[in-house]
């Protein structure tokens, strides 16, 4: 079941942007994981995850993001998260993930972060 | 008191969140989000691990709101499992070395003021309470 999440993909130069909207819970995280892995399988090494319109994330959603971060770090890539709303940030903080992810207030700032290297 | 019974299926998680949003309407976004997170994590565990033989059972979520607190009870007919026995996660080690397990229960303990587990007959019953901020 994944009807409560919407995932869009875009590119900005060498950066792959994945926009996750709605709910990222145990029922929808597999779909997000598949989409992210497809981008990484295609050679993507700079991944921006836009969470501007994400309403909810659980530990299942964090697991997907952590798996992507681990894979990218191993391959010399980078992952940046843009625009997580306060309640989403609170979940990141509870998990200690605010210390291991690059969190940017908006997509432009995240893109600029790739430009200077991360 | 509000009560919802759903089939123990991952597709039910969004329905449970909607049920809680309705039951807690007017209680403030932060309180609603916290209770939704705790209940979602508990129900996710039950759905993913509570029915190893395949046949999904049912989960009943009960929500009582009064002036002082929100009390939520989650009852399921899965295999006996006390989520509170999970060890706390290691939050300060590098991403590459982090196991992901245990985070859900850590969230439940963090956002709720009290959590208790009981096995009652053939059911697991997880009782959680969160004080309302204006009652502190």
Please provide the DSSP assignment of chain B as one string. -EEEEEES-GGGHHHHHHHHHHHTTTS-HHHHHHHHHHHHHHHHHHHHHS-TTS---EEEEEEEE-SSEEEEEEEE-SS---GGGSPPP--SS-GGG---TTHHHHHHHHHSSEEEEEEETTEEEEEEEEE-GGG-
- How high is the pLDDT of residue B56? 83
Question: How many Å apart are CA A104 and CA B74, to the nearest integer?
Answer: 36
- pLDDT at residue B107 greater than cutoff 50: yes
Strand, coil or helix: what is A14?
A: coil
Nearest by CB to A58, from B29, B40, B92: name it. Answer: B40
Count up the domains in chain B and report the number. Answer: 1
Q: Residue A115: which pLDDT band, with cuts at 50, 70 and 90?
A: confident
- How high is the pLDDT of residue B19? 98
Residue to test with chain A: of B6, B18, B33, most A Cβ within 10 A: B33
Q: A15 in a domain, yes or no?
A: yes
Q: Residue A3: which pLDDT band, with cuts at 50, 70 and 90?
A: low
Q: Residue A107: which pLDDT band, with cuts at 50, 70 and 90?
A: very high
- pLDDT at residue B136 greater than cutoff 60: no
Q: Compute chain B's Rg from CA coordinates.
A: 15
Q: Residue A106: which pLDDT band, with cuts at 50, 70 and 90?
A: very high
Q: What is the mean pLDDT of residues B56-83?
A: 95
Q: Residue B95: which pLDDT band, with cuts at 50, 70 and 90?
A: low
Count up the domains in chain A and report the number. Answer: 1
Cβ contact A33:A67 at 8 Å: yes
B58-65 and B2-7 beta bridge pairing: antiparallel
ipTM for the whole complex: 0.92
CB contact under 8 A, B91 and A96: yes
Tell me the CATH number at B65.
3.30.565.10
- How high is the pLDDT of residue A1? 42
- How high is the pLDDT of residue B100? 60
- How high is the pLDDT of residue A66? 93
Q: Average model confidence (pLDDT) for chain B?
A: 91
What is the number of CB-based contacts under 8 A between chain A and chain B?
Answer: 77
CB contact under 8 A, B14 and A74: no
Q: Is A73 on the interface with B (CB under 8 A)?
A: yes
What's the domain range around B77?
2-135
What's the domain range around A68?
5-108
Q: Is A59 on the interface with B (CB under 8 A)?
A: yes
Element at A71 (helix H, strand E) = helix A59-74
* Chain A residue nearest residue B15, CA to CA: A4
- How high is the pLDDT of residue A29? 95
- How high is the pLDDT of residue B99? 63
Cβ contact A79:A111 at 8 Å: no
């Amino acid at each position: 079941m994944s009807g409560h999440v919407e995932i869009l993909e875009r590119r900005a130069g060498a950066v792959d942007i994945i926009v996750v909207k709605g709910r990222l819970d145990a029922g929808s995280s597999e779909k997000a994981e598949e989409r992210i892995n497809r981008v990484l399988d295609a050679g993507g090494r700079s991944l921006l995850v836009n969470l501007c319109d994400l309403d909810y994330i659980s530990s299942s959603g964090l697991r997907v993001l952590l798996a992507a971060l681990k894979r990218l770090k191993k391959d010399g890539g980078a992952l940046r998260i843009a625009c997580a709303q306060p309640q989403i940030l609170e979940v990141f903080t509870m998990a200690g993930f605010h210390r291991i992810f690059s969190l940017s207030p908006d997509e432009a700032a995240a893109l600029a972060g790739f430009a200077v290297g991360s | 008191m509000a009560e919802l019974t759903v089939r123990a299926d991952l597709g039910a998680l969004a329905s449970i969140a909607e049920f809680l949003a309705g039951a807690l309407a007017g209680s403030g976004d932060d309180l609603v989000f916290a209770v939704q997170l705790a209940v979602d994590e508990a129900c996710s565990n039950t759905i993913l691990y509570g029915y190893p033989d395949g046949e999904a059972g049912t989960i009943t979520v009960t929500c009582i709101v009064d002036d002082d607190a929100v009390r939520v009870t989650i009852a399921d007919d899965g295999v006996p499992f006390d989520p509170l026995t999970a060890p706390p996660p290691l939050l300060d080690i590098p991403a590459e070395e982090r196991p992901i397990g245990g985070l859900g229960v850590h969230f439940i303990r963090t956002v709720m003021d009290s959590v208790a587990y009981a096995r009652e007959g053939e059911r697991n019953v997880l009782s959680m309470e969160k004080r309302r901020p204006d009652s502190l």
